[in-house]
Amino acid sequence: YCTHEYTLSNLAFARAAEPHNPERDRYLAHCEALRAASEPTLPTTIAQERQINPFMRTSEPGVIEAVTHQTGRRPATALACLTALRAWKDVF
């Protein structure tokens, strides 16, 4: 089990990295309700992460567009997108 609650801050980054992801918005509302009740947001599933986590969505047009906007250049590959996302998250 984790000892720190990072889900909401990670979802804030996910919103910046893929602004138009309705599944992420639904999950964010769910997590906000959990935290308001002092409940943990974890565990999650790989299936859920594939729907909301930009690091697992580097081929999605919305993620690519956000990375392009953030960096000023379109990533040529999913790996380049992932690398740019990681650098962005480091300063988010």
Whether 1 maps to a domain, the answer reads no
Which residue's structure tokens are 């690091």?
55
Q: Which amino acid is at 40?
A: P
Alpha helices in the chain (DSSP H): 7-17, 22-36, 46-52, 61-71, 78-90
Domain with 43 in it: 7-90
Whether 37 maps to a domain, the answer reads yes
Instruction: List pLDDT tens digits, range 35-80.
Output: 999 999 999 999 999 999 999 999 999 999 999 999 999 999 999 9
Confidence band, pLDDT 50/70/90 cuts, at residue 4: confident
- pTM of the entire predicted model: 0.92
Look at the chain and report how many structural domains it folds into: 1
Contact call for residues 41 and 6 (beta carbons, < 8 A): no
